[in-house]
């Protein structure tokens, strides 16, 4: 089986230089775009994530190769197969990412990426330590079953991750219209990282925003609703370990104290779900905001054609 290098390894110096460049811009434009403790936490999480990824990669690759053994067809090692693989892998990423926001088990791993109240290039490197444990790789298994060689898929996945780096910035406003129409951009991904009721659980795209437009999860960034970043219940801590595991601890605590018939819900339902309805989910937050806006005509215009997404 052919092997390929991990493109992310080669991108690391570029990541560092671009973070440095964005820091210099922040120094001139708005010092509060960066905060040293937050940056260190993000980068430490990123570093830990590469270690965790390297440790588990052998097992993931072995699983992928085993599944590939049952492939439906033989995808050739040609340029168009790489293009097709990249597009389908991005679709698999969309499905994974959507479930990572709608199923608490996967959210517990993904929340790390959203746990900063900042939105800058260092936030892009705030990556999970528990991706393997959460079994996130299962979303790529259909690609191997289709016949795409594991080396090809992981190469495309690396390129996908590299693409997603540059969109974590407030330095870039809007890109040309055709780019905003097709590609995931800083503007679209700012929406994804925002906790404004309008923006919650929107824009799951990795590289191509068309998936969100196609599956009804797209929301455009608005001048009159500036994104506020982070998670609904902000961490309020720069502790790296706590950032990495806090939601897993939350799941364990909730399952421990819940009645038997509700325990599973704390694992597989959406983040914020509770058996007695005492907590907020993205739907309840959005619904409340919409009701208030409907009652206050001045806000009605802001809500516009927004709708509650059926999960």
Partner 1 sequence: MNWLLSLGSLAGVLALGGVARLLRLGGSEPLAPEQVTERVQFEYNPFRVERMVIGLDGRAALVRATDGRLVAVKVHGAHPATRLLPGAPAVTTCGDLVVVDTGDRWFGPLRLRLDQAQRDMLRAML
**Residue list 290-309, contact with partner 1 (CB under 8 A):** 292
4 binds partner 1 (CB under 8 A): no
State the first-to-last Cα distance of the chain, in angstroms, to the nearest integer: 40
> Residue for token digits 């009645």?
259
Phi, psi angles (nearest 5°) of residue 289: -65, -40
Q: With contact defined as beta carbons under 8 Å apart, do 188 and 222 qualify?
A: no
Binds partner 1 (CB under 8 A): choice among 20, 135, 172, 179: 20
59 binds partner 1 (CB under 8 A): no
Binds partner 1 (CB under 8 A): choice among 253, 288, 299, 307: 288
**Closest approach of Cβ 73 to partner 1, in Å?**
32
**Closest approach of Cβ 55 to partner 1, in Å?**
10
> Residue for token digits 């499905």?
95
239 binds partner 1 (CB under 8 A): yes
How many C-beta neighbours within 10 Å does residue 235 have? 18
257 binds partner 1 (CB under 8 A): no
Q: With contact defined as beta carbons under 8 Å apart, do 193 and 227 qualify?
A: yes
236 binds partner 1 (CB under 8 A): yes
Binds partner 1 (CB under 8 A): choice among 29, 40, 59, 294: 40
Q: Which stretch binds partner 1 (CB under 8 A): 24-32, 88-96, 176-184, 210-218?
A: 24-32
Task: Specify the DSSP element, H or E, that contains 198.
Answer: none
> Residue for token digits 């110096």?
13
Binds partner 1 (CB under 8 A): choice among 29, 51, 59, 87: 51
Q: Which residues pair with 183 in a beta bridge?
A: 208
228 binds partner 1 (CB under 8 A): yes
159 binds partner 1 (CB under 8 A): no
Binds partner 1 (CB under 8 A): choice among 109, 122, 160, 184: 122
Distance CA(244)–CA(287), nearest Å, equals 30
Phi, psi angles (nearest 5°) of residue 70: -105, 25
Tell me how far CA of residue 107 lies from CA of 79, 86, 282, 284, 289, in angstroms: 35, 24, 13, 18, 23
Q: With contact defined as beta carbons under 8 Å apart, do 3 and 151 qualify?
A: yes
Binds partner 1 (CB under 8 A): choice among 27, 83, 182, 264: 27
Q: In a 3-state reduction of DSSP, which class is residue 225?
A: strand
Of 18 and 267, nearer to partner 1 (C-beta) is 18
Q: With contact defined as beta carbons under 8 Å apart, do 41 and 238 qualify?
A: yes
> Which residues of the shown chain bind partner 1 in the complex (CB under 8 A)?
6, 9, 12-13, 15-16, 19-20, 23-24, 26-27, 31-40, 43-44, 46-47, 50-51, 53-54, 117-118, 122, 228, 232, 234-239, 242, 246, 285, 288-289, 292
């Amino acid at each position: 089986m052919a092997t390929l290098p991990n493109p992310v390894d080669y991108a690391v110096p570029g990541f560092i230089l671009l973070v440095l460049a964005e820091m210099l811009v922040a120094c001139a434009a708005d010092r509060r775009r960066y905060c040293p403790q937050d940056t260190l936490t993000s980068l430490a999480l990123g570093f830990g994530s590469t270690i965790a990824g390297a440790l588990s990669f052998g097992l993931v690759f072995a699983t992928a190769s085993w599944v590939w053994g049952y492939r439906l067809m033989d995808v050739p090692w040609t340029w168009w197969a790489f293009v097709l693989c990249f597009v389908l892998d991005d679709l698999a990423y969309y499905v994974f990412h959507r479930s990572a926001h709608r199923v608490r088990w996967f959210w517990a791993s993904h929340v790390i990426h959203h746990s900063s109240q900042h939105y800058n290039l260092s936030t892009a490197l705030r990556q999970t330590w528990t991706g393997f444990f959460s079994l996130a790789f299962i979303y790529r298994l259909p690609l191997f079953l289709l016949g795409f060689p594991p080396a090809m898929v992981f190469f495309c996945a690396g390129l996908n991750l590299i693409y997603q780096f540059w969109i974590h910035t407030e330095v870039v406003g809007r890109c040309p219209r055709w780019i905003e129409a097709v590609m995931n951009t800083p503007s679209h991904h700012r929406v994804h990282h925002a906790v404004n009721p309008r923006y919650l659980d929107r824009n799951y795209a990795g590289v191509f925003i068309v998936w969100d437009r196609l599956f009804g999860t797209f929301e455009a960034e608005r001048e009159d609703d500036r994104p506020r970043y982070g998670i609904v219940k902000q961490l309020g801590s720069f502790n790296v370990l706590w950032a990495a595991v806090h939601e897993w601890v939350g799941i364990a605590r909730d399952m421990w104290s819940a009645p038997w018939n509700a325990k599973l819900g704390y694992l597989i339902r959406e983040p914020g779900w509770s058996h007695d309805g005492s907590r907020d989910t993205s739907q309840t937050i959005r619904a409340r905001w919409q009701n208030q806006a409907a009652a206050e005509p001045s806000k009605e215009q802001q809500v516009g054609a927004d709708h509650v997404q059926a999960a």
